[in-house]
Amino acid sequence: MLIFIIYKTILVLLVFLISLGIAAYSTYAERKVAAFMQDRIGPDRAGPFGILQPIADGVKMFMKEEIIPTVSSKFLFILGPSLAMLTALMSGVVIPWGGHLTFGGQTFPLQITDINIGMLYVFAVVSFGVYGIMIGGWASNNKYSLLGALRASSQMISYEIAMGLALVALIMKTGTLSLGQIVAQQGDGLWNIFYQPLGFLIFLICAFAETNRAPFDLPECETELVGGYHTEYSSMKLGFYLFAEYINMFVSSAIISSLYFGGFNIPFQSHFGFDGNLLSLLQVVFFFGKIFFFIFFYMWIRWTIPRFRYDQLMFLGWRILIPLSILNILVTGVIMMRHEIFYYLSNIF
Amino acid sequence: MQLTDRKKVVVKKEMSLMEKLYIPAITQGMTITLKHFFKKGATVRYPEVKREIAETYRGQHVLKRDEQGAERCTACGLCAVACPAEAITMESAERRKGEENLYREEKYASIYEINMLRCIFCGLCEEACPKEAIFLTDRIVPVSGNRKDMIYGKDKLVEDINHPIDLSYRQTKAVAEFKKDKTKAHNQTWKDKQNLIKEKSH
Amino acid sequence: MPITQYIFFFLTFVAIFSAILVVIDKNPVHSVLYLIVTFFALAGHYLLLNAQFLAAVHIIVYAGAIMVLFLYVIMMLNLNKEIEPHKKNIPKFAAVIAAGVFMLCLIALLTNAQKGMLPAAQNENIGLVENLGKVLFREYMLPFEVSSILFLAAMVGAVFLSKKEIN
């Protein structure tokens, strides 16, 4: 029991630190990717290739003067970024990072907890994430912040529907809500992307919208809303908001790769003949490779596609993605029930 | 009047199904950005690497001295008149006895200022100067956070007597030949003139 | 006393305390936030009853969607004390009487209720999605479908209301 507690504590701490580290270096990667795509160099002054830039940014964030608007609610003003950070870090709990490690006859799964409603848990945390933005935007007592918060909430509610419906089709195929089992199912067979290509596309678009990334970054649209919901924020509270966005990006990349791209599974892994622990470590490396690809994909999209207009955003969400995802559910259902349908049809004719 | 043949008439036609999907257009855009991702950037890392500049690059001015180290400028004001940006101001003074080795002519500039914020580095002052006193060099004017620092006085403009700035590579062959001809008054220093007077009196 | 009992009492305290604050707090935005806390405490109760699916759906639907819309509307209204219209006393009396009657009903119900934990809590698998789905689509098929028609009617009504002109 004690070993179990120590092991889980270490795992939680590891996931926490890795999330923060990857979020920090995502800011650096974002600037580098943006620079390369625009034929520039990007940050290269702090350390070799600018590798210490995130540390410099972090120090700068901490040193900045902290401003809390006097007319706003101080408690809610602080609660906003804290909630954003909390919800961003919470969803990493159910992600399976690798297989099992075996030490002295005891197995240690590389997943903090495999609850049987894993996907719903992620969904609940994501849907709760909007409060961080809404409360922060309202407590700023600034019209631009409020408009950003309202945009964020309506955007997230609209895209949650299509996201949920895309997931329903996937869950119909997998028959389970547990992320561990979904990943295990893809171990030997094909990845889910080959069964659910349309569902993947819808899920990907909605994931972009849920993380407020370009082209769906209307809540912080600087051409119209100064900075959106974080206009009034400074110092590390602003840092929390920016950090939460990158953690969300990391976690959603992990979820996309677990749901549709086989998670930690390496293709043809059963043919290599590695022993347990080595295979598990390789799986972790491979999983992080997939995650990094998706983080790059997020940046790639951001520096390619311009921002949507608000009516286009709503049009895409309600009139294209939701009908498409319902159609996807119908098609998935028909394919799953094809034998029964053939049976009934042959009885009729 | 038609200036170019590149005009394009905007037609708002109904998009085809493929265009409405937007996915081909998005993939096209993404391949373009990916191509640029692997392309070498055009950035020159300035303090470490300096960009190659033309031989006739027009940078910070220099007020030249002659071979004996006397200032060539005679404060005639032609450069200030020629300057389109009105960046040059000066004050003249008369040369005293014993200052012959400092100033080439009887009149010299006691104050000579160029406002580098106004200067457009056109080089017209260099063209206007009858005494070959002012030249533009290939040095870059350093930036400053202070307007005062950008008004360059004689302390920054006159060349160091021990480290004369070589501008011969910026001159054409004809100019270099002309400068060797000591019979022309233009090329004579104060000592040359004294020698000529002595020769004539003999 | 098992640890779940302590958790139960803690969650109950949080739920009731924040529910009272929903009514008492003068700032409507704070009220909505207290209501969200109440919902979270209720979700905790669902978890104690082994109803994980219900707990997750409760948070997704109530805390994650409906309360966001509540907050959305309240944030859009400019609820300053200066422009608050003077309220008459009759609605207050009506509210007190209605709430009193409701409380009487609740007390009457609770005195007849069974004491102790619900039998469902003993079965660990009762709240799983599979079991819930089986019950919902076998035993309660008709009520489930009828309720979906109810939602459809509500949706049609919303679309109808949002249309400005009907020829």
Portion 51-110 of B in contact with A at CB < 8 A: none
Residue with tokens 């006193």: B133
The domain ranges of chain A are 68-348
Chains C and A touch, contact meaning at least 3 pairs of CB atoms under 8 angstroms apart? yes
Quote the CA–CA distance of A117 and C50 in Å, as a whole number.
12
Residue A294 · residue A263 · CB < 8 Å: no
Tokens of B26: 């998005």
Structure tokens at B57: 């690059």
Q: Quick one: pLDDT at residue C112?
A: 76
- Contact predicate A331/A168, CB 8 Å: no
Q: How far separated are the first and last CA of chain A, in Å rounded? A: 63
- The Cα A90–Cα A122 span in angstroms is 8
Q: How far apart are CA A249 and CA A19, in angstroms?
A: 10
Helix, coil or strand: residue A185? helix
Chains A/B: 3 or more C-beta pairs closer than 8 A?
yes
Reading the block at residue A290, the tokens are: 């997939």
Please enumerate residues of C whose Cβ is less than 8 A from a Cβ of A.
29, 33, 36, 52-53, 56-57, 59-60, 63-65, 68-69, 71-72, 75-76, 128-129
Q: Please check whether residue A303 is in contact with residue A266, taking contact to mean a CB–CB distance below 8 angstroms.
A: no
Residue A327 pLDDT: 92
Give the strand pairing for B61-63 and B134-136. antiparallel
Nearest to A124 among C56, C128, C129 (CB): C56
Residue with more model confidence, C105 or C160: C105
Chain C neighbours (≥3 Cβ pairs under 8 A) are A
Residue A117, min C-alpha distance to chain C (Å):
7
- Section A209-229 average pLDDT: 79
Enumerate the residues of chain A whose CB falls inside 8 A of the CB of residue B42.
39
Which of C42, C46, C1, C49 lies closest to C19, judged by CA? C42
Interface contact flag, A40 B45, Cβ < 8 Å: no
All residues of chain B having their beta carbon less than 8 Å from the beta carbon of residue A303 are: 33
- The pLDDT > 70 percentage for chain A reads 99
pLDDT of residue A330: 92
Q: What is the mean pLDDT of residues B168-177?
A: 78
CB-based contact, B173 to chain A, within 8 Å: no
Of the candidates A116, A128, A156, which has its C-beta nearest C128's C-beta? Answer: A116
pLDDT for A348: 81
Residue B33 touches chain A, beta carbons under 8 Å: yes
**SS3 (DSSP) at A193:** helix
Pairwise CB contact (< 8 Å): C75 & A124: no
Q: In which residue are the tokens 């900045």 written?
A: A64
Note whether B26 contacts A35, CB cutoff 8 Å: no
Q: How high is the ipTM of this complex?
A: 0.80
Please give the helix or strand (H or E) that residue A254 lies within, else none.
helix A235-260
pLDDT at C77: 76
User: Average pLDDT in the A283-295 region?
Assistant: 89
Indicate the SS3 state at residue B152: strand
Which pLDDT does position C115 carry in this prediction?
A: 64
Mark yes or no for CB contact A116/C72 under 8 Å: no
Report d(CA B81, CA B90) in Å as an integer.
11
Output Rg (C-alpha) for chain B, integer angstroms.
Answer: 28
Query: Are chains C and B in touch, 3+ Cβ pairs below 8 Å?
Result: no
* Strands, E assignment, B72-169: 88-94, 107-115, 134-136, 151-152
C105 to chain A, minimum CA–CA distance in Å?
34
One-character DSSP codes across A210-243: HTT-TTS-GGG-HHHHTTGGGTT--HHHHHHHHH
Give yes or no for residue C97 having a pLDDT over 90.
Answer: yes
As to burial, measured by CB atoms within 10 angstroms (0-12 exposed, 13-18 middle, 19+ buried), residue B52 is exposed
Q: What angle do CA B132, B69, B126 make, to 5 degrees?
A: 15
Contact call for A128 and C71, based on CB within 8 A: no
Q: Find, among C34, C54, C33, the residue nearest to C44 by Cα.
A: C54
Chain segment A11-61, per-residue pLDDT in tens: 889 888 988 889 888 889 998 888 888 888 888 888 888 888 888 888 888
Give Cβ neighbours of residue C162 (< 8 Å, ≥ 6 apart): none
Q: CB-based burial of residue A292 (10 Å sphere; 0-12 exposed, 13-18 middle, 19+ buried)? A: middle
Say which of A123, A157, A177 has its CB closest to residue C129.
A177
Amino acid making up residue A216: F
**C125 contact residues in A (CB cutoff 8 A):** none
Please tell me what DSSP assigns to residue C71.
H
In this complex, do A40 and B33 lie within 8 Å of one another by their Cβ atoms? Answer: no
B49 touches chain A (CB under 8 A): no
Tell whether B41 is within 8 A of chain A (Cβ).
yes
Judge whether residue C118 has pLDDT over 60: no
Give the mean model confidence (pLDDT) for residues C109-116.
74
Stronger pLDDT, C123 or B82, i.e. the higher one: B82
Contact present, A116 and C127 (Cβ < 8 Å): no
The CA R_g of chain C, rounded to the nearest whole Å, is 20
Residue of B nearest to A33 (CA): B37
Amino acid of residue C12: T
**Does the pLDDT value for residue A312 go beyond 70?**
yes
Let me know: does A228 contact A143? Beta carbons within 8 Å. no
What is the nearest CA distance from C85 to chain A, expressed in angstroms? Answer: 23
The whole-number pLDDT of residue C14 equals 92
* Residues on chain C touching A121 (C-beta within 8 angstroms): 56
Q: How far is B11 from chain A (nearest CA, A)?
A: 21
Chain A neighbours, 3+ Cβ pairs < 8 A: B, C
Under the phi-then-psi rule, with left for phi > 0, alpha for psi from -120 to 50, and beta for the rest, what region is B77? left
The architecture (CATH level 2) of B61-201 comes to 2-Layer Sandwich (3.30)
Q: Looking at the complex, report in whole angstroms how far the Cα of residue B31 sits from the nearest Cα belonging to chain A.
A: 9
> What average pLDDT does the segment C134-162 reach?
88
Would you state the pLDDT for residue A329?
A: 92
- Nearest CA to A296 among B33, B41, B22, B29? B33
CA A216 – CA A212 distance, rounded (Å): 6
pLDDT of residue B119: 92
Give the residue from C26, C35, C66, C41 showing the smallest Cα distance to A130.
C66
Task: Please judge whether B34 and A305 are an interchain contact, meaning their C-beta atoms are less than 8 angstroms apart.
Answer: no
CB contact under 8 A, C68 and A153: yes
Phi, psi of A102 (to 5 degrees): -115, 120
Omega of the bond leading into C91 within 30 degrees of 0 (cis): no
Phi and psi at residue A212, to the nearest 5°: 55, 40
C82 close to C157: Cβ distance less than 8 angstroms: no
Residue A14 tokens, joined: 């590891």
CA distance A107 to A101: 6
Q: How far apart are CA A168 and CA A184, in angstroms?
A: 19
**Predicted local confidence at residue C149, as pLDDT:** 93
**How many angstroms away from the CA of C69 is the closest CA of chain A?**
8
* Facing residue for A134 by CB, picked from C52, C65, C71: C71
**How far is B6 from B149, CA to CA, in rounded Å?**
48
Does B41 sit within 8 Å of A39, measured CB to CB?
Answer: yes
pLDDT above 90 covers what percent of chain B?
A: 13
The mean pLDDT of chain B is: 84
For C6, phi then psi, to 5°, come to: -60, -45
Q: Which amino acid is at C54?
A: L
Instruction: Read off the pLDDT of residues A86-122 as tens digits, 9 standing for 90 and up.
Output: 988 888 888 888 777 777 777 777 777 777 788 888 8
Give the Cβ contact number of residue A112 at 10 Å: 17
- DSSP state, residue C85: P
Predicted confidence (pLDDT) at residue C165 exceeds the cutoff of 70: no
Q: How confident is the model at residue C38 (pLDDT cuts 50, 70, 90)?
A: very high
Domain boundaries, chain B: 61-201
B contacts of A301 (beta carbons < 8 Å): 30
pLDDT above 70 covers a percentage of chain B that reads 97
Amino acid at C127: G
For residues A144-159, average pLDDT: 85
Q: How far apart are the C-alpha atoms of A287 and A268, rounded to whole Å?
A: 15
Distance CA A134, CA A137 (A): 5
B132 CB neighbour count, 10 Å cutoff: 17
Q: What is the DSSP string of B19-69?
A: HHH-HHHHHHHHHHHHHHHTSPP----TTTS-----TT---SEEE-B-TTS
Q: Which residues of B touch A33 (CB under 8 A)?
A: 37
Residues B63, B165 contacting (CB under 8 angstroms): no
- DSSP secondary structure code for residue A115 in this structure: -
How many Å lie between the alpha carbon of C16 and the closest alpha carbon of chain A? 21
pLDDT score at A187: 78
